[in-house]
Amino acid sequence: MTNSSKLKLKTPDEAETVFYEAFMHCDDKVMAALWADGDVVCIQPGSRAIVGHQVVVRSWTHIFHNAHPPQITYTVRNRIITDELVISLVIEEVSTDRDQAAQVLATNIYRKFENGWLMIEHHGSLVESYNQNYTIQ
């Protein structure tokens, strides 16, 4: 993956749209072109952190290979905006034909590079109805 094969996206909004389109279509080529190089971070709900472009893209390929394309409706709940970084708090409703819908919270982070905005972090966590298991009850 060279820089020239990255997407050229003018806004963080465009990057976010591309992310969810690629997710729903299980398109790992678009994912690879959306994620920046270097120490980018991806955390799927309940999973360990994955750090680095190559392993992040490989993890999406693995997910897509084993997946039924999900339906995702998403709502941006909050945005933190600076010239270089945009942090999006997104509420995702995720479902497949097989599963009941689940609600996932995502912190999505986009960074401005010379040729546009690319993704540098996706941190997802499942919203549980009751959170009795946390450690400091």
Residues that bind a second copy (CB under 8 A): 39, 41, 43-49, 51, 63, 66-70, 77-78, 80, 82-85, 87, 89, 91, 94-96, 98-99, 101-102, 104-105, 107, 109, 111, 120-121, 123-128, 131, 133-137
Nearer to a second copy, 61 or 107 (CB): 107
Tokens (6 digits) for 21: 């389109």
Tokens (6 digits) for 6: 């990255």
Q: How far is 77 from 89, CA to CA, in rounded Å?
A: 5
Q: How far is 60 from 122, CA to CA, in rounded Å?
A: 12
Nearer to a second copy, 4 or 66 (CB): 66
Nearer to a second copy, 4 or 134 (CB): 134
User: How far from each other are the two terminal CA atoms of the chain, in whole angstroms?
Assistant: 46
